[in-house]
Amino acid sequence: MSYSKQLTLSSALLGLSLSLVPYIGVAQTTERPDLEGIWTNASRTTLTRPRGIEELVVSPEVADQIVANMAIAGISAENIAAGPSIDPETGAPPSGSYDFGLRGYNLFWTDPGSSLALVKGEFRTSYVVDPPNGQIPRLDEPMVELQRPNYGSRYLTGVGGNEGPEALPIAERCLIGFGNTAGPGMMGTLYNSSYQFIQTDNYVMILIEMVHDTRIIPIFSSAEEAREKRRPAALNQWLGDSVGWYEDGVLNIETININPHQMGQSSVPISPNGKVTEQFSRYADNEILYTFTVEDSNLYSQPWTAELSYYPLNGRIYEYACHEGNYSMPGILAGARRLEAEQASR
């Protein structure tokens, strides 16, 4: 497999410019789309449609207005417009302050994209396209109970459960990335919304920049064969049991049996009986169209579908060394133990 930039034969016949898309590897066919290369899905669009917005598709002018009023990581649009929200000379926040999130994530660290998601030439206000209202059709009374801890206050205040490593979010423990970047249901987040696709005859590998998550998906000749060759359900692995097949120029990936700890902190949760079906196709030489459909009658009143696009990234992905030099967890736990000792001695 060549790692140099190349055009597919079909692109060459059409006289398309090489500069449009720096992808590599296998040639595109009517059965197998060429997805290889480094891509990004960064955008300011959210999974569900914001309150007060009814349309899925908006004009470029309206899209700019929506983005101009958006906060980033708890930083208001006004503070974003005013420039960096943190003065490097102010020093550490006072003990017990409740602005940890704002100080922990100033604009220097964030790179969520600068526009709403551009999908098939349209600016979208939500990734959810079905139901048409852009909302997830959750059951009022779910058939199963997912353990979904609320870490929002922990982010905003820096205060949360510190009984042991298990009390911390799985992303904070560097087990998998946060924000559902690796999926299934792969969406961008505050930063590192970059992906590398590599295709062989028998596998598709998707490397996610965030926490260097990697999906290695076996490819079969049909959906029937793929489902017959699933891994044992007892594995309960991170990112689930994914199998794939090509059909009519589309890469189909079906995922079940996702680790329940991940589902408790996922924006696309499913129960053990649910599944997520992803589809990747080349909408244009510089655009991968990505859809995923979530089916789970235990949690949702109907299947629902989201849609977004990936675009070429002119750069490379470097290792996301989440653990190396990361003393946050031992520091948090050691601080909690010391606080407990001080309280016990009073």
Site of tokens 């989440």: 322
The enclosing H or E element of 7 equals: none
Higher per-residue confidence, 87 vs 160: 160
Asked whether the whole model's pTM tops 0.85, one would answer no
Amino acid at 238: W
Q: Look at residue 322 in the predicted model and tell me its pLDDT.
A: 80
What mean pLDDT is predicted for residues 189-214? 93
Residues forming beta bridges with residue 126, ordered by sequence position: 46
Q: Name the band, by pLDDT with cuts 50, 70 and 90, for residue 79.
A: low
With CA atoms as reference, report the closest residue to 190 among 40, 39, 43, 38. Answer: 43
Q: Judge residue 1's burial from the number of C-beta atoms within 10 Å of its C-beta, 0-12 exposed, 13-18 middle, 19 or more buried.
A: exposed
User: Of 32-46, 126-140, 238-252, 317-331, which gets the smallest average pLDDT?
Assistant: 317-331
Please, how many CA atoms are within 13 Å of residue 192, restricted to the half-sphere of its CB? 20
State the Cα–Cα distance between residues 247 and 293, nearest whole angstrom. 17
Any idea where the domains of the chain sit in the sequence?
9-72+110-312
Q: Over 50: is that where the pLDDT of 25 sits?
A: no
Q: Give the strand pairing for 275-284 and 250-256.
A: antiparallel
The answer to whether the beta carbons of residues 155 and 162 sit under 8 Å apart is no
Percentage of the chain modeled with pLDDT above 70: 77
What mean pLDDT is predicted for residues 255-273? 87
Q: Name the band, by pLDDT with cuts 50, 70 and 90, for residue 74.
A: low
State the Cα–Cα distance between residues 287 and 332, nearest whole angstrom. 42
State the Cα–Cα distance between residues 207 and 196, nearest whole angstrom. 5
Neighbour tally for 226: CB within 10 Å: 20
Neighbour tally for 2: CB within 10 Å: 9
With CA atoms as reference, report the closest residue to 55 among 120, 117, 125. Answer: 125
Site of tokens 């926490």: 211
The pair of three-digit structure tokens given for residue 13, joined into one six-digit string? 């016949």
Q: Enumerate helices (H) and strands (E) in the chain, giving the number of each.
A: 8, 13
With CA atoms as reference, report the closest residue to 26 among 219, 294, 176, 225. Answer: 219
Q: Name the band, by pLDDT with cuts 50, 70 and 90, for residue 215.
A: very high
Q: Over 50: is that where the pLDDT of 277 sits?
A: yes
Q: Look at residue 314 in the predicted model and tell me its pLDDT.
A: 86
User: Of 12-26, 189-203, 294-308, which gets the smallest average pLDDT?
Assistant: 12-26
107-135 exposure pattern, b = at least 16 Cβ within 10 A, e = fewer = eeeebbbeebbbbeeebbbbbbbbeeebe
pLDDT tens column, 280-300: 999 999 999 999 999 999 999
What mean pLDDT is predicted for residues 262-272? 86
What mean pLDDT is predicted for residues 16-24? 32
Q: Give the strand pairing for 304-312 and 128-130.
A: antiparallel
The pair of three-digit structure tokens given for residue 174, joined into one six-digit string? 């560097």
